[in-house]
């Protein structure tokens, strides 16, 4: 007798990272007496004189921001990576493969999405989000053209629950000499799939999801947002272009317009789910900037929100997740259905 995957525990395979996730839908019935989070206040001023990201204010390093009116990019005052200084010529440490260290270099930048301190991405107009898309593409192109940069990682931590240190709408870029671990896994899996099938992994997966429809959240002429079959976080989503394109700079103008529109819709659906500014970590995975065309790589973005049952109950990655493998309770199909059911117009705008 076949297992009913809607109600019984099972494991799902992620072909992008070649990892498994345990899905336990029967656990949604368990009582909750764990930690209950406080929701941050919904109201903030349009300008905060004490915010180091607002226009005209002084940052911690003593540099004063310009009176910017759209997006604003600057080198991080407290970067995780430093530009090359000659130390990278050091061959590092290798004690028989048991203790291995290598010097690395890179650049870290901050992108302010808007001069408005009080607006997150879903509350910005599509035209303002389009400026963010343009800035992302420009930064990848400019940083990726540098010979010392092998990969450009764009990400956005939204909300205190995801470690965001400042509520002003912003994201980050870490451009690294070395290919990071997760993009490295995705490079290997996509390359292997292309070699054996002659088509790209995410393109075939997207075609399957569009045909089935049960995990689709929203879509337009150029993009689709869905809860992946192998999702780990409760309301995790994957944003994929319909056309095979490897990075943000390669997007056509109409694809950039459509990307801004679907980002607003997806993040609005997030906020509307629990009527709160929905926290998440989001990141773009484009092809490496090492000069190889990487024809098997399809650009995509991942959203990892921590909320589970409500605005105050979150998913914790502990215990089994830290010692064995990722685990989730609600099925990806249920998560997608709940996101589809909420309005596409933000609850604070209508």
Question: What is the residue-wise DSSP string for 167-196?
Answer: -SSEEEEEEESSPPHHHHHHHHHHHHHHHH
Does the residue 34 lie in any domain?
A: no
Does the residue 349 lie in any domain?
A: no
In the chain, which residues have pLDDT < 70? Answer: 1-3, 28-41, 85-89
Does the residue 187 lie in any domain?
A: yes
Ranges of beta strands (E only) in the chain are 10-14, 19-23, 72-75, 93-94, 100-101, 106-112, 151-158, 170-176, 216-219, 223-226, 237-241, 280-285, 300-304, 307-310, 313-314, 327-328
Q: What is the pLDDT of residue 233?
A: 95
Q: What is the pLDDT of residue 291?
A: 92
Does the residue 29 lie in any domain?
A: no
Question: Taking phi first (over 0 means left), then psi (-120 to 50 degrees means alpha), and beta for anything else, what does residue 310 get?
Answer: beta
Does the residue 124 lie in any domain?
A: yes
Which residue range forms the structural domain that includes residue 316?
Answer: 46-85+101-341
Does the residue 62 lie in any domain?
A: yes
Scored b (16 or more CB within 10 A) or e, 202-233 reads: bbebbeebeeeeebbbbbeebbbbbbbbbbbb
Does the residue 20 lie in any domain?
A: no
Q: How far apart, in whole angstroms, are the C-alpha atoms of residue 226 and residue 340?
A: 10
Is residue 49 within 8 A of residue 57, CB to CB? The reply is yes
On the CB side of 313, how many CA atoms lie within 13 Å of its CA? 9
Q: What is the pLDDT of residue 50?
A: 94
CATH assignment of the domain containing 187: 3.30.428.10
Closest to 238 (Cα-Cα) out of 4, 11, 17, 10: 17
Closest to 5 (Cα-Cα) out of 27, 19, 21, 23: 23
Please indicate whether residue 222 is annotated as part of the active site. no
Q: Which of 117, 170, 285, 300 is catalytic?
A: 170
Q: Render pLDDT for 178-200 as a digit per residue (tens, 0 to 9).
A: 999 999 999 999 999 999 999 99
Q: What is the pLDDT of residue 331?
A: 94
Does the residue 3 lie in any domain?
A: no
Question: What is the residue-wise DSSP string for 46-101?
Answer: SS-TT-TTSTTPBPTTSPBPP--SS-EEEE-SS-SS----SGGGS--EESTTSSEE
| Global confidence as pTM | 0.94
Q: Render pLDDT for 86-141 as a digit per residue (tens, 0 to 9).
A: 555 677 898 989 999 999 999 999 999 999 999 999 999 999 999 999 999 999 99
- Beta strands 307-310 and 10-14 are unpaired
Q: What is the pLDDT of residue 313?
A: 82
Q: At what angle do helices 201-212 and 181-197 cross, to 10 degrees?
A: 80
Report the number of distinct structural domains present in the chain.
1
**Which residue in the block uniquely carries the two structure tokens 């949604």?**
28
């Amino acid at each position: 007798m076949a297992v009913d995957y809607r109600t019984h525990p099972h494991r799902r395979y992620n072909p992008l990272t070649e990892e498994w996730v345990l899905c336990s839908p029967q656990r949604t019935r368990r009582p909750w007496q764990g930690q209950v989070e406080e929701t941050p206040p919904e109201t903030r001023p349009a300008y905060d004189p004490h915010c180091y990201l607002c226009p005209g204010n002084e940052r911690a390093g003593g540099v004063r921001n310009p009176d910017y009116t759209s997006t604003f990019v600057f080198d991080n005052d407290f970067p995780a990576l430093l530009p090359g200084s000659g130390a990278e010529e050091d061959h590092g440490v290798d004690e028989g493969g048991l203790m291995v260290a290598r010097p690395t270099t890179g650049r870290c930048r901050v992108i302010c999405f808007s001069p408005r301190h009080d607006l997150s991405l879903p509350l910005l107009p599509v035209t303002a989000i389009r400026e963010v898309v343009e800035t992302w593409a420009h930064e990848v192109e400019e940083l990726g053209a540098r010979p010392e940069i092998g990969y450009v990682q764009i990400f956005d931590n939204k909300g205190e629950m995801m470690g965001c240190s400042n509520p002003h709408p912003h994201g980050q870029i870490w451009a690294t000499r070395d290919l990071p671990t997760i993009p490295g896994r995705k490079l290997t899996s996509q390359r292997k799939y292309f070699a054996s099938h002659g088509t790209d992994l995410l393109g075939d997966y997207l075609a399957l999801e569009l045909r089935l429809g049960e995990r689709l959240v929203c879509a337009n002429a150029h993009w689709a947002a869905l809860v992946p079959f192998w999702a780990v976080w409760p309301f995790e989503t994957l944003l994929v272009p319909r056309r095979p394109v490897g990075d943000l700079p390669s997007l056509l103008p109409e694809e950039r317009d459509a990307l801004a529109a679907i980002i607003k819709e997806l993040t609005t659906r997030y906020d509307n789910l629990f009527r709160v500014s929905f926290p998440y970590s989001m990141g773009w995975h484009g092809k490496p900037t090492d000069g190889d065309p990487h024809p098997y790589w399809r650009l995509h973005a991942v959203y990892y929100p921590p909320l589970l049952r409500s605005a105050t109950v979150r998913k914790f990655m502990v215990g089994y997740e830290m010692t064995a493998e990722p685990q989730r309770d609600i099925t990806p199909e249920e998560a997608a259905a709940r996101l589809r059911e909420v309005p596409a117009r933000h609850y604070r705008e209508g």
